[in-house]
Amino acid sequence: MAAPFAVHAVPTSARDPKTSSTLEPYQVSYLSMLLSSEILKFGGPFTLKSGRQSPYFFNAGLFCTGESIAAVASCYAERIKRSGVEFDVLFGPAYKGIPLAATVAMALQLQHGINVGFTYNRKEAKTHGEGGTLVGASMKGKRVLVLDDVMTAGTAINEAVAYIAAEKDAKLVGVCIALDRQERIKEDDTEGTVDMVSKRLGVPVLSVVGLDQIIAFLEARGGYEKEIESMKDYRARYGSVKG
């Protein structure tokens, strides 16, 4: 069996650097797929869970074909490998995190030769068979990296943290998300959600792409002037990084 993923580590207390507008090739492919699959949509306005009216919407529920889930898993795997975070198990919170955990674990193995376990939770505990709420690799004594789609107020991560804390000697070492909207939770906050959650948990919160990179991608592609203007206006009001 291959050894757990271990490359030169970054301190687990370190935060992911501010999202740069520079795009890596894998991020260009990722954003192209998001547009062609309409996982990333513009227009609206779209009402978010926070109640804000957003000019764009990211629907991770549309990672529902072999092509799209393979592409997103590949990009998660690339982002995770580049981060240098050391971990043994991927944890995917139900429900959207379940296919992410399975496919990212597969992508890490197939593309990078990195063999790690994955686990996920049930919404309701199983009362027969093996029972319990967790399925998959054990997190006991392991370093755990959580996978999720988009972090809005950062409350959903609390449940995942509670599952990890309940496992003997398990340790949260990071979180990886599909998109950093680069927003503040409250308009008078001085930091964005990702930075605040990273500080609170003491681990890096990684993102495959951020809002700045979406804007840079659309500017390079051309023909999205109205959409770019709307997103920049939205960022000026709610963003953690001012344009």
Asked if 29 and 208 touch (Cβ cutoff 8 Å), the reply is no
Phi, psi of 159 (to 5 degrees): -65, -40
- 145 in Cβ contact with 177 (< 8 Å): no
User: Which residues, listed in sequence order, are joined to residue 177 by a DSSP beta bridge?
Assistant: 148, 207
**171 catalytically annotated:** no
**Which of 126, 140, 199, 226 is the catalytic position?**
126
- Kindly state the DSSP code that residue 12 receives in the 8-state scheme: T
Q: What tokens does 49 get? A: 């869970």
CA–CA separation, 145 vs 129, rounded Å?
27
Question: Catalytic one among 8, 123, 128, 168?
Answer: 128
- CA dist., res. 8 & res. 24, Å (int): 21
Question: Tokens 């997190």 label which residue?
Answer: 139
| C-alpha–C-alpha distance, residues 60 and 87, integer Å | 24
Determine whether 128 is an active site residue. Answer: yes
Residues with Cβ within 8 Å of 101's Cβ and at least 6 positions away in sequence, in order, are 90, 91, 92, 118, 119, 120, 136, 147
Return the active site residues.
126, 128
